[in-house]
Amino acid sequence: MGELFVLVGGESASLPVYKKPRRKRIFPFCPVVVCMSVMGGGFYISKVVGVAGIVLGAGAVATIIALAVVYSEEVAKNNEVISPTNEGSTVKPTLTTTEGSSVSTPEGSSVSTPLLPTAQPSNEPWDKYRLPDTLKPDHYNLTLWPRLKVNEQGLYIFTGETYVVFQCVKETDLILIHSNKLNYTKWEGGQLAKLTALGNITAPTIKSSWLQETTQYLVMQLNGNLTVGELYQLDTKFVGELANDLGGFYRSEYEEDGIEKVVATTQMQPTDARKAFPCFDEPAMKAVFHITLLHPVGTIALSNGMERDPVPVTMEGPEGTVEVLKTSFSETKRMSTYLLAFIVSDYDYVNETTNDVLIRIYARKKAITDKQGEYALNITGPILKFFEEYYNVSYPLPKSDQIALPDFNAGAMENWGLITYRETALLYDPEMSSNSNKERIATIIAHELAHMWFGNLVTLNWWNDLWLNEGFASYVEYLGANDAEPDWNIKDLIVLNDVHRVFAIDALASSHPLSSEEQAIQKPEQISELFDAISYSKGASVLRMLSDFLSEATFSKGVSTYLKAFSYNNTVYSDLWDHLDLAANSSGVSLPTGFNVNSIMNRWVLQMGFPVITIDTANGHFSQEHFLLDPASRPDVPESEFKYEWIVPIRWMKTGKEQSLTWLKTRTANMTDMKVIENEWVLANLNVSGYYRVNYDVPNWERLLNVLNTTPESIPVINRAQLIDDAFNLARAKYIDTILALRTTKYLKTEKEYMPWESALNNLDFFYLMFDRSEVFGYMQAYLKIQVEELFGHFKNITDNWTKVPSGHMDQYNQVNAIRVACSTGIDECLNLTKGWYKQWMNDPTKNPIHPNLRTTVYCSAISAGGEAEWEFGWNQFNASTIATEADKLRYALACTKQPWLLNKYLEYSLNPTKIRKQDATSTIVYIASNVVGQPLAWDFIRDRWQYIFEQYGGGSFSFSNLINGVTKRFSTEFELQQLKDFQAEHNDFGSGNLAIQQSIERTSANIRWVAENKKKVLEWFDGEVPKP
Ligand SMILES: [Zn+2]
């Protein structure tokens, strides 16, 4: 599944008032609101009453059970909670800040909740979540007919007819096949399916058949055993709801030229293919699929295989006689069910053919007319070619379709040959899209195309190895995007976007290892939980480290032989290690004596966390220790068979000169080369290619600070960002003094590069949270104002007084930082600039003069500095906006005002679904709480409305814990702690926010301690850094 960067404003505080929404990777295929409410709602088509006749397919008369009124009401009730709308195409910060299975922690980062225990209600095979090993599918024949109009009961439905041919591999008198929320037509004898044998034998008759709801099976007990080695055919006819629940076969709606339109589309991963048709829905149950779609005249049908010309057919249904089109598709390759896709729409497309592969980009007609598909089309061919060379395996399919959907839950989904995307992840509009929107499109396309081989051609056996599939794609997406956009230096950004980000989570005692036991992952919700930051970002980080110490050529060679050996089959993660070992041996790569890829990587994969390497340059002594952000949490860390020791590759330099790769294989070691004399210095983890932090003896830190202040260019730019991030985190974990960490920001006065600035601003967020209501704030602002002056001037120069866009991709990002910090620290020239632009826009709302790159920051700055007129204008633009990303930018910026009455009004709006979509409510409140003026208002507001908010948002939604964490993240006084405790005592149940309340109390206590220890010296240091008149 595709990762996604989105604008998120509420996750942590930042510079006062102007909090820059940060790009954040989201993982959830099935996050939060949707899954919780749908699964919790438990509406099934089995709750049916009415019966209607219908004809489906070549003369087969089927009795289709229609859906009852009771059921419609339940759906309506559920939809109220789910509420995906036409404009649901943007990622909702409510969802994204939660990272699926994650909740906010004291550090404002995320931590995964532990996996649910596996309950097995009984020993009956149909009460187990895994299929028995008795049957293997060979091929399926499937016809689906989605209705794009509501039926008499007010429901959208689809009907289907399918057979699967399977082989019996172990004697059994039981057939289990996955099925969820499907309602079956009964065959003669009253059974839900028909079984026939394909060979010269007779199939046993079905004794009984039923739907096992909890484990999602269609169960058939037979009067006799199936014969090993024989092929059987199982026929079914069924009906399902084409709901707007974003899972299985579902509908997406949008408006075009005043007309409501419906798209029927799919999202199968991980376990929703069974919601579209009965199937052996496990990744190792690969089969060939023959697919046919029936669809309205005037629409087109797409699937994994190439479509044949549609044929008009006449169908009989409850709706009467209908003329429809029948489109059948070339049979698929042998593939997993979770990679299937079926789509009916009236979309248009652009196309080209590169290396005999037909590449098509599908989207709403208007988006295609507006040429929003051009960018995706232009980069897909080169990226496919890049991966063909990287894998040394041809693209396995004759076509590559990519389609943008108005309602889509994940960022994108790598369906084989028909990749689905959120609109914002595929469509690029030069007028409205920022450079980060563009980067996201390039990286997501690369990510999904990488899966066409790694994941689709060769598939992991079971979901417990999901981290390898997603970690791999999350690593090579940077290589693919770099190939398409070589000027961006995008490969470096993995350090900020993945390594540093996941460090924050993986440094907690509550983290978890990359790899899970197969037995521990059984239920759909346990599978969904695996789509988290650890799987994606840590997976990417450790594979990047592996590729670095093997060399990229050796790594890709091992990947290539692995793909060739297991094409159309399944693997476990150690199969890849075996092939990498072979590649390492044949390329003569030397690994530390006694170790191979398997034994090195086990340390990184099977135990959670990562080490901090401490280098003492006085004696050449170096050592490793499990890095924990809170040293007091060490007793809570579970035991590890490797005792939290790692085999650590260390790339390092001495006084600017790169040294040869060194390995730390034990807890401590000595290397005389690391000893220095006089002004020599040591810097380790070059380019942050290793997944660890580095600490030094204080004299070496001093020498590194000296280099930053005098000749910063002798330290690679990634390592300048690393020194800042390591220092701040080492200080939080009490390895070094807080002032030493702050001193790493002094040289920023002359720094022009994005990565070090971004690293510093991310880390200073915490200082702003703790101090923006105290006297420290003024000193901190004065310091940062001095630091940013030169950067602001630099961008003024290179943009010709703000009239041009900087040419460099990273420069465009850092321009945003420069404006954000300059305006928030009160540089008049900056404030006049942003106010002026905004004023210009207010004077002519049809012409927005603000470049898309700068909009979030400029809107926020202008609304913050302005009053009612600026706010009302922003509010009107928000309501008028038809582009989801634009609306999100405004919704965020409206929380930047300093007027308490406007903030209170906005809080009221947040709970009014006619003003703020329900799914955006909690993130809007969190945005307001991120504003120092809005913080107490939001806290009062949620306490005052607690009952209502709890009833509406508390059920099972992770966004609810996000709300609690977001509103209380600034808490750092005894008074606030007491308020929190009173609040907890007053309401005994916080639903999905129970953990968040507890975490908020713990975080507040930790913040009180941190402030007590650091406030005085931090104030004195800032004071000392600001020149006195
Ligand atoms: Zn993926």
pLDDT, tens digit, 9 for 90 and up, residues 441-474: 999 999 999 999 999 999 999 999 999 999 999 9
Which amino acid belongs to residue 1017? Answer: K
| pLDDT score, position 41 | 27
Backbone dihedral angles phi then psi of residue 123, each to the nearest 5 degrees: -95, 0
| pLDDT score, position 992 | 66
| pLDDT score, position 921 | 86
From the list 74, 238, 232, 61, the residue with the least C-alpha distance to 145 is: 238
Higher-pLDDT residue of 697, 23: 697
Higher-pLDDT residue of 884, 643: 643
pLDDT (mean) for 76-82: 28
| pLDDT score, position 10 | 29
Which amino acid belongs to residue 772? Answer: D
Q: How many angstroms separate the alpha carbon of residue 604 from the centre of ligand 1?
A: 21
Tokens of 458: 């060769």
From the list 758, 754, 773, the residue with the least C-alpha distance to 933 is: 773
Element (H, E) at 64: strand 61-65
**What are the tens digits of pLDDT across the range 577-592?**
999 999 999 999 999 9
Mean pLDDT, rounded, of the chain: 87
| pLDDT score, position 1002 | 82
Assign 250 a pLDDT band (cuts: 50, 70, 90). very high
User: Half-sphere exposure of 154 toward its Cβ, with a 13 Å CA cutoff?
Assistant: 9
Q: How many angstroms separate the alpha carbon of residue 471 from the centre of ligand 1?
A: 8
Higher-pLDDT residue of 148, 69: 148
User: How many CB atoms are located within 10 Å of the residue 558 CB?
Assistant: 25
Q: 48-57, 285-294, 519-528, 795-804 — which is least confidently predicted?
A: 48-57
Residues classed as catalytic: 448
**Reduced to 3 DSSP states, what percent helix, strand and coil does the chain have, rounded to the nearest 5?**
45, 20, 35
pLDDT (mean) for 344-358: 96
User: How many CB atoms are located within 10 Å of the residue 706 CB?
Assistant: 13
pLDDT (mean) for 354-373: 94
Assign 964 a pLDDT band (cuts: 50, 70, 90). confident
| pLDDT score, position 954 | 61
User: Half-sphere exposure of 872 toward its Cβ, with a 13 Å CA cutoff?
Assistant: 4
Q: How many angstroms separate the alpha carbon of residue 701 from the centre of ligand 1?
A: 39
pLDDT at 668 over 60: yes
Alpha-helical regions (H) of 315-364: none
pLDDT at 935 over 60: yes
817 Cβ partners below 8 Å, 6+ apart? 20, 754, 757, 758, 761, 791
Which residues have a beta carbon within 5 Å of ligand 1, which is an ion? 1, 470, 473
**Torsion over CA of 146, 150, 155 and 158, rounded to 10 degrees?**
-10
* pTM given for the model: 0.87
**DSSP secondary structure, 262-309, as one string:** EEEEEE-TTTTGGGTS-B--STT--BEEEEEEEEETT-EEEESSPBPP
Which amino acid belongs to residue 253? Answer: E
% of the chain surpassing 70 pLDDT: 88
Higher-pLDDT residue of 533, 892: 892
pLDDT at 810 over 50: yes
Alpha-helical regions (H) of 530-596: 533, 539-550, 552-565, 573-587
Overall size of the chain counted in residues: 1029
Q: 50-59, 357-366, 454-463, 600-609 — which is least confidently predicted?
A: 50-59
Task: Indicate the DSSP class of residue 329.
Answer: B
Identify the top-confidence range among 56-60, 567-571, 921-925.
567-571
From its phi and psi, is residue 588 left (phi > 0), alpha (psi between -120 and 50) or beta? left
Assign 77 a pLDDT band (cuts: 50, 70, 90). very low
Assign 52 a pLDDT band (cuts: 50, 70, 90). very low
Q: How many angstroms separate the alpha carbon of residue 579 from the centre of ligand 1?
A: 22
Q: How many angstroms separate the alpha carbon of residue 68 from the centre of ligand 1?
A: 38
| pLDDT score, position 8 | 34
- Binding positions for Zn(2+): 447, 451, 470
| Cα–Cα dist 158/343, whole Å | 12
| Cα–Cα dist 1009/1000, whole Å | 14
| pLDDT score, position 654 | 97
Assign 632 a pLDDT band (cuts: 50, 70, 90). confident
CB 1, CB 269: distance < 8 Å = yes
| pLDDT score, position 1010 | 93
Q: How many angstroms separate the alpha carbon of residue 1001 from the centre of ligand 1?
A: 36
Q: How many angstroms separate the alpha carbon of residue 472 from the centre of ligand 1?
A: 8
Assign 44 a pLDDT band (cuts: 50, 70, 90). very low
**DSSP secondary structure, 157-183, as one string:** EEEEEEEEEEEE-S-EEEEEEE--SEE
Q: How many angstroms separate the alpha carbon of residue 737 from the centre of ligand 1?
A: 40
Q: How many angstroms separate the alpha carbon of residue 754 from the centre of ligand 1?
A: 27
Element (H, E) at 33: helix 32-41
| pLDDT score, position 99 | 25
| Cα–Cα dist 366/220, whole Å | 48
| pLDDT score, position 1 | 78
- Binding positions: 447, 451, 470
| Cα–Cα dist 815/803, whole Å | 13
Q: 72-86, 611-625, 673-687 — which is least confidently predicted?
A: 72-86
| Cα–Cα dist 859/853, whole Å | 11
Element (H, E) at 260: strand 259-267
pLDDT (mean) for 860-875: 96
How far CA 635 is from CA of 395, 509, 733, in Å, comes to 50, 9, 15
End-to-end CA distance of the chain: 57
| Cα–Cα dist 207/224, whole Å | 9
Specify the 3-state DSSP secondary structure of 557. Answer: helix
Higher-pLDDT residue of 986, 625: 625
Q: How many angstroms separate the alpha carbon of residue 924 from the centre of ligand 1?
A: 29
Assign 963 a pLDDT band (cuts: 50, 70, 90). confident
CB 220, CB 187: distance < 8 Å = no
**Torsion over CA of 495, 723, 653 and 699, rounded to 10 degrees?**
-160
Assign 475 a pLDDT band (cuts: 50, 70, 90). very high
| pLDDT score, position 958 | 52
Q: How many angstroms separate the alpha carbon of residue 636 from the centre of ligand 1?
A: 32
| pLDDT score, position 103 | 27
**What are the tens digits of pLDDT across the range 109-144?**
333 333 344 455 578 999 999 999 999 999 999 999
